[in-house]
Structure 1
């Protein structure tokens, strides 16, 4: 049984360190009248607190930059227990408490079958978040385990739809995840579904405090997250929820190719190539033009040209209709079913034709939008 959890951030390295500013604290900050910078204090709703007397913590199953994850038990339920780092100084402790409260409040108000289920939290003596324990593994570990083999194309689209639906739910609640990557995507026990985890870097899009840049993990980060200008309170945010769409495009490419994005580059080299050279991972030969269009529309440089997750879901479903059913799901033919099989094939042909026509219409809409913005 294993569960992967990661909030770590890959740090700057190599000769390009001067080309991209060093990472800044991912906490939103407010500037007081005397010029000092402080983190806003948040509190945890009492309704989401669990009884610490019923919570038992077992073996460690993961560790990240902001805390550790353990297998545990709450009452008679096996759970995952995330214990956040407490902080060493009063300022650091206050910032981490606000981070904890923000994560808990967001997790407690969004529910979806493709989001890891939030069960409750404790705010003393430790900062603890309790969620369901998925007995599968992270998508990153799963892909590494089957490499160099590739996922079946139906599985690629199924996983992509799971992820897109989870992200659509978050965006509908005004939440930007900001750290979408295979480490934070967990497989169910039967390895047929994916659930999104880790709200440690998530932020509400409506928040008025400064939204800091360079948040997340470099290989999956949108180019606009690299900024050479520090935003001040009241200034226009320089990015929105389309940063998650860019990350999704990279994840979809990874599902399709089972390769590391920007392989052969260091973390910072990958970031520099994406942000300042507009480079993207190479699409494999023979990839469907429609699937290539979905990926490329997600990671296009201009955030306004990226689709919403609702549009991504429609495009993925449309593409799925153009695929033949998986071989193992096809019934064995017999002498009495020739006519019905011919009828089914005719229906499938018509459905595929309609799907292709619909996909063409979607492409025309994006082309028209690109023309208006140019």
Structure 2
């Protein structure tokens, strides 16, 4: 990148930062963006991705699948619904930081309990505003997801060369098992169902199908959707063995979403899944769980250039021709060319043709790459939870 380009990247948009910059975003190629910090002061390094969703910034920041990543939001009005405890997908934010175009919008929503900046500060997460996110997103799409370092200092004193080196020192997500870091450490029961007006999250009170959910970084709303579809859910850590899963006498096994390289997590997860498959139990996977199932069945996964992150991804179900608007969050994908005999491709992305679903022929074993619980359609893909529970006969 030329000196002129670097200077342009470092110049905040008009009307954003007439005062001294208080945050800095440095990419491994030496590109530097200066802006305004909010949230918690500090520094973090990871992989930089972009998300095209217009809502759900709180859910995105607390999605365990974003471990090891800094998220650029392409939608400019971030912060307009504030933050509240009910919308967290896990106890604390997992994404390392957020990058936005404008300073956070003042919240205007009856459910708001605090501002986005207050929430981020309390949760210890860094954010930078005043960035040309359109330019940054184009660079990610053209060159792939870069390694980055982001720092927020109120005094505005940055060691930019050191930040660039910190970005370059990040090892990347390939070969990295992050599921252990975000998974639960002991088993627990889940009975909370999907949010309903006006009472919030009701509890499941009637008996349901016994489902064991293996937590590679499970979002709470996935567990709620399982409960709402008729499941009594017990959650086990990512490192659970087939013997530990089967000891609970499940009628179905769910493989959750999660972060990192599926091949690395597969070192311990694939043997567990193979043991479950040998017991002839219905299996359903989402996101990383989809990739784990594919590996257990003999397929391979690949690292994507910049991944899929957003709430507007069209996916086609091949059996029916139906197109679903889905939520996506993944940097790895199943290589459909490696699917073995007896495993069929069920869904594909209409953006790039990449695999979005598989199933075993003649058995209730299936998975999808997208997130049906995120309701972008808003409920185009909820039938998958119902199909899973209905398969337990």
- The TM-score with structure 2 as length reference comes to 0.25
Larger relative contact order, structure 1 or 2 (CA cutoff 8 Å, min sep 6): 1
> Which has the larger helix fraction?
1
Higher radius of gyration, 1 or 2:
1
> Which has the larger strand fraction?
2
